[in-house]
Amino acid sequence: MPDLPILGIAPVDGRTPLVFCWGVSSFFGWGVNGLNLALALADHPVFAPVAGQVFSMDDLVLDPLREARVIPVLTRSRDVWAALASTSEPVLEIEAPVLSGLGRDFAGAGEAAHGKRLRGNPQVGVAFLEEATLSPEGRARAREFALVVAGSAWNERVLRANGIHATTTVLQGIDTSLFHPAPRAGLLGADRFVVFSGGKLELRKGQDLALAAFRAFHRRHPEALLLTAWHSPWSDLMNDAVAHPGLVPPRATAEGTPDVIGWAVANGIPADSVIAIGPTPNIAMPHVLREADVALFPNRAEGGTNLVAMECMACGIPTILSANTGHLDLLRTPGVAIPLTRQGPVARAGLDTTDWGESDVEEAVEALETVWRDREAARAVGERSARFMAGMDWKRQTALLLRAIEPLLP
């Protein structure tokens, strides 16, 4: 491999810079991951976090104490962004560990600010893959990494099946100072049975299955209320979000975002039985989640462990999970969630849906009925899930990530 131009980066207060190349935001999954990595490492004795991709404080909604920990990360990251902007070189070497966020077929691996790529020492990938097959080009890109950290045990198996053996699994964490059991505010009325569904609106997340299950459940229990957090920056994914037969597909609002209420009404659910929250910062989500009686995730596939589901579980909400892909890491501990075990095959043109699962809507309805019928048993599930998630805070999971890369450090 030819020598690359070197991007200089100085130690920070005697600490080694650790560059991570994915977003920092309060409003989407990778961004929440980046934010919490920055917070977890803010006062680390060895590593100083540096964001390889541009963000601003406008992307974040934080309390003043968290904000004070993020501002130094932003300040030191700006120096890297400025250096990348000043060079015409597409790829640069940097004498610091670089963590690269990896998605479908490892495309865009290591992308940093201004479309540039960084090659670190070591170069470590952090992968959340949703398809089980890498192309020859994808496998070649994967082999550029000294280690690929998989976001789920399923992802690690996928990587090994594709010949990528320098891999290990480290699950993402949750902020247990925010997501934990606490009294609900009762904002939705004491007579409502609230079903929460979250995640960006797309085929993989299975909101069509959640909608079909809620429709059947609501016919038996008119007091049921569907509380959705389906907004994301990628609204166009809604155009291919329906595979369940007999459902009308969603349409866009004038602003281009999914018309969730209109979609529910078009599929036979009364408008007053659905609440759709818009863009909501992660720091506010615990107050939303605690109003729910149950959370439903009939997702067809998860490269990771489904951050929103983990946050529901941490709040002590009885959580129904499809027993496939990344969800299996959560379901491996008996009794912490309610599994949807009847998983059929998923077929979709242009997608490798190996190991994906089509949840049975009737099983999902029965799971909702189980929670509705026996609130004490459901509460016990929530208590077990909260105890389980309390051991998966971001500090601990970030420490496991650092332990994984430690043998590679110069």
Residue 182 lies in a domain: no
State both tokens at 221.
């229990």
Within a domain: 181? no
- In this prediction, residue 335 carries a pLDDT of 97
Give me the DSSP letters along 272-341: GGEEE--S--GGGHHHHHTT-SEEEE--S--SSS-HHHHHHHHTT--EEEESSGGGHHHHTSTTSSEEE-
Tell me if 179 is assigned to some domain: no
Whether 19 is in a domain gets the answer yes
In terms of Cβ atoms closer than 10 Å to its own Cβ (0-12, 13-18, 19+), residue 388 is middle
Q: Report whether 54 contacts 81 (CB < 8 A).
A: yes
Residue from 53, 60, 54, 63 nearest 26 by CA: 60
- Identify whether the C-beta of residue 342 lies closer than 8 Å to the C-beta of residue 360: yes
Length of the chain, please? 410
Can you give the CATH number for the domain in which 339 is found?
Answer: 3.40.50.2000
Whether residue 36 sits in one domain with residue 23: yes
Looking at residue 10, its pLDDT comes to: 79
Among the listed residues 353, 294, 296, 304, the one whose alpha carbon sits nearest the alpha carbon of residue 328: 304
- 83 lies in the same domain as 154: yes
Task: Please report, for residues 22, 161, 383, the alpha-carbon distance to residue 185 in angstroms, rounded to integers and kept in the order given.
Answer: 35, 48, 19
90 and 203 in a single domain? The answer is no
In this structure, what token pair is assigned to residue 360?
């049975």
- Which structure tokens are listed for 114? 């201004």
Nearest to 210 by CA among 298, 342, 284, 338: 298
One domain, residues 168 and 235: no
* Omega before residue 122 within 30° of 0, cis: yes
Instruction: Name the DSSP class of 30.
Output: H
Q: For residues 180-210, b (16+ Cβ closer than 10 Å) or e, as one string?
A: bbeebeeebeeebbbbbbbbbbbbbbbbbbb
Give the CATH number for residue 117: 3.40.50
Instruction: Please provide the DSSP assignment of 230-248 as one string.
Output: ---S-GGGGGG---STTPP
**Is the residue at 64 inside a domain?**
yes
pLDDT given at position 2: 57
Indicate whether 223 and 372 sit together in one domain.
yes
pLDDT on residue 109: 61
Could you tell me if 237 and 303 lie in one domain?
yes
Q: 215 with 357, same domain?
A: yes
**Same-domain status, 217 and 265:** yes
Whether residue 119 lies inside any domain: the answer is yes
Q: Residue 178 falls within a domain, yes or no?
A: no
Strand pairing class (193-198; 294-297): parallel
**Does a structural domain hold residue 243?**
yes
The predicted structure's pLDDT at residue 111: 87
404 & 385 share domain: no
Query: Do residues 137 and 275 share a domain?
Result: no
d(CA 21, CA 117): 9
Q: Are residues 163 and 198 in the same domain?
A: no
**What pLDDT, on the 0 to 100 scale, is given for residue 3?**
67
The number of domains in the chain is: 2
Average confidence (pLDDT) per 10 residues, the chain, 410 residues: 70 91 96 97 96 97 98 95 91 92 84 90 96 95 95 98 97 98 95 97 97 98 98 91 94 93 97 96 98 98 98 98 98 97 95 97 98 98 98 97 94
Domain containing 252 equals 193-390
**How far apart are the C-alpha atoms of 62 and 177, rounded to whole Å?**
13
Same domain (yes/no): 152, 267: no
Give the span between the Cα atoms of 45 and 341, in whole angstroms.
44
